[in-house]
Amino acid sequence: MKGSGVWSNTIIEDCCWFFKLPHKDGPSHRVGNPLAKDFLNKFSESVLAGDTENAEKVLSIERKLSYWRNNRGRIMEQMVVWINRKCLPKQLRIAESKYGAILPQVLVTGTLTRRAVEPTWMTASNAHPERVGSELRSMVQAPPGYNIVGADVDSQELWIASTIGDAHFAKIHGGTPLGWMTISGNKNDGTDMHSVTAKAIGISRDQAKVINYARIYGAGQNFAEQLLKQFNPTMSENEVRNKATKMFALTKGKRVYYLKKEYLLEFPDKAYGRWQAFEIAKLHGKKTEEMFITAKWVGGTESAMFNRLEEIANNPEPVTPFLDCRLSRALEPKTVANDRFLPTRINWVVQSGAADFLHLMLVCMRWIMQDRARFCLSFHDEVRYLVPEQYKYQAALAMHVTNLLTRSFCSAKLGIRDLPQSVAFFSSVEVDTVLRKEAKQDCRTPSNPHGLTSGYGIPNGESLDIYQAIDKAGGQFVWWNNRKSLIFFTFSTKLKKSIVLMHIFVLEMSRATKRKHVLMEVLQDDFSPPTEQQQIVKVVSSKGNNLHEVEAADGSTFLVSMPTKFRKNVWVKRGDFVLVEPIEEGDKVKAEMVRVLTNDHIKYFVKDGVWPEAFNEVNAKKETDGDELFINTNRRVVLDKDSDSDSDSSD
């Protein structure tokens, strides 16, 4: 009889053999519940089993319910704001569906590494066919007329760590073995980092992935031994130690010491091991750090990376490599006497660098898309935006460009002035109507057996690589207007779509052009119908001081004020229509303009049935210029010859 635990030398009536179940934290700990999370996989692997099918059925139900049991309370306690039906567009008021929004309770910098913390959505499981409730994310849908656009950053933290090593060692991408595996390694042919580690020590790729990330985050050989023991409890202590030692020699290398210059006359200039350095220093009655320079890692695929990470972590005031963000002073080396928190600081360099990466992405998307895309939520290394349907493909291309610009910025900060195309763009950007991780995943689970397509009528979304995004967004020429400048992106694909060439032109607008595009956004983007408090009125006359007399649909007249955002750019004349909102406790001035209506607004409102019948005889306005923009006719004409950036800043 062979078991996976420790033989307890206990036999009952020659029919029962008892084994002590191995605890994941080592033999000094005892297992409290053999049906706990750590052992459920052992039943599915037949390491543990019962003598009837009933036991397997009970365990199967336990596995399926575990996610929902642990998360039900947090899911049911989500803060939901239901939208008043009267505030919905007319086409949505007819439907019986209710519309609302979930407000996640996010701590923006809730961890030492400046990551956001939220107990439900940022830890939500991906849909799994054996997990009740795991379709949670896919239940969040975009409002009608909107899409959810986003992407996962491919190997984000691995790329950050490897690029730090490349920049330190060779100032070129792929200059170290780890850097080459990151940008050129392939899972299918076994040349990526995780496959190489798995092959070297004889474990699965998934297990190697866990150990690799733990090592990059600062975990030592003892922790790797614990993980190996958890993966395969049947391995002996000696076998576990040999595998961990081999893995660390292959990846991290070995730690060596070099003598300081003043001692080179007495001893040869070579690499000394830790014990040798200690003995030499002891002979001279000195400490190791007094005779030797800081120890370095050599001979491993990740040696250059760890040397640079430790150099940053041991700086008196460590900062992130991209945005120079400081570590908490409580953990700075000048505060802590020894290396007790060195693994924590190494972890902080990588993960806080990933927070820098996210912040750069958000700023870049804001610069390109402005208010055409609303940041929805980020999950560790993925980000999602809520985008009007007409801008979904532009947003998808903007995501690709954002990845390019963000990685370029990070590389430039490290001293590398180029970027391989293999990491320049996302492998895919998801354009969807729900919040699922992959746009083509149907999310079938025990609690959603029919999936999204059959059960809810939600079709698959689109996964767009850079070439598809270019085609969908308008071909080889794309532009965005970010109010202060026009951003032109020209794309060309060569060698059967194996190379993407992109040129970026940022053209500063003249004051008149800037005004034109600001007005285009302010006046024409919003076609939402008037709310209960708002009403459409006609301008009768101007009274000066930004006050206008208007006539309502019932024939009454009153004064309205023009808000500050319109005053320098918009000229409202007699006969124009505006949307106004009442001012509380207004005496002489009863309301304020909230929108100036163009011909397009009027046509839309007439079609939507919200245009006042009293104004039907004037259902179209006289055009004021070719672009149907309102120009202040009293404004002094200004000629812009070359650039008016100085005047823009003062305007």
Domains of the chain: 158-353 (no CATH), 513-618 (2.40.50.140)
Residue 375 pLDDT level (bands cut at 50, 70, 90):
very high
- Nearest by Cα to 211 from 253, 178, 251, 163: 251
Q: Please state, in angstroms and rounded to a whole number, the distance separating the CA atoms of residues 149 and 374.
A: 10
Q: Please state, in angstroms and rounded to a whole number, the distance separating the CA atoms of residues 491 and 465.
A: 14
Q: Please state, in angstroms and rounded to a whole number, the distance separating the CA atoms of residues 406 and 513.
A: 29
Tell me how many degrees the CA angle 632-637-638 measures, rounded to the nearest 5.
Answer: 120
pLDDT at 497 over 80: no
pLDDT at 621 over 50: no
- Nearest by Cα to 41 from 21, 29, 59, 58: 59
User: Phi/psi at 95 (nearest 5 deg)?
Assistant: -65, 155
Across 47-56, 390-399, 473-482, 541-550, least confident range: 473-482
> DSSP secondary-structure letter at 262?
G
> DSSP secondary-structure letter at 231?
H
Q: Please state, in angstroms and rounded to a whole number, the distance separating the CA atoms of residues 398 and 383.
A: 13
What is the per-residue pLDDT for 157?
Answer: 92
pLDDT tens for 1-46 read 444 445 555 566 666 666 777 777 767 788 887 777 777 666 666 6
Q: Please state, in angstroms and rounded to a whole number, the distance separating the CA atoms of residues 355 and 216.
A: 16
DSSP secondary structure string, 402-413?
Answer: HHHHHHHHHHHH
Q: Which residue has the higher pLDDT, 517 or 301?
A: 301
- Residues 6 or more apart whose CB falls under 8 angstroms from that of 57 comprise none
What is the per-residue pLDDT for 411?
Answer: 96
Torsion angle of alpha carbons 554, 559, 561, 567, nearest 10°? 100
pLDDT tens for 306-348 read 999 999 999 989 999 999 999 999 899 888 877 788 889 999 9
What is the per-residue pLDDT for 650?
Answer: 40
pLDDT tens for 557-572 read 999 998 876 776 677 8
pLDDT tens for 183-231 read 988 888 888 899 999 998 888 999 999 999 999 888 888 889 888 888 8
Residue 414 pLDDT level (bands cut at 50, 70, 90):
very high
Q: Please state, in angstroms and rounded to a whole number, the distance separating the CA atoms of residues 49 and 618.
A: 81
- Whether 372 and 389 have beta carbons less than 8 Å apart is answered as no
- Whether 317 and 335 have beta carbons less than 8 Å apart is answered as no
Q: Please state, in angstroms and rounded to a whole number, the distance separating the CA atoms of residues 388 and 372.
A: 7
pLDDT at 380 over 60: yes
What is the per-residue pLDDT for 623?
Answer: 43
Q: Please state, in angstroms and rounded to a whole number, the distance separating the CA atoms of residues 240 and 407.
A: 38
pTM > 0.95: no
* Amino acid, single-letter form, for residue 48: L
* Cα separation values, 253 from 205, 248, 304, Å: 21, 6, 10
Across 37-46, 297-306, 479-488, least confident range: 479-488
Q: Please state, in angstroms and rounded to a whole number, the distance separating the CA atoms of residues 362 and 321.
A: 18
Tokens found for residue 423: 């990491």
pLDDT at 504 over 60: no
Torsional sign, CA 243, 246, 247, 252: positive
pLDDT, mean over the chain: 82
What is the per-residue pLDDT for 474?
Answer: 75
Instruction: Convert 399-432 to b/e letters by CB count within 10 Å (16 or more is b).
Output: bbbbbbbbbebbbebbebeebeeebbbbebbbbb
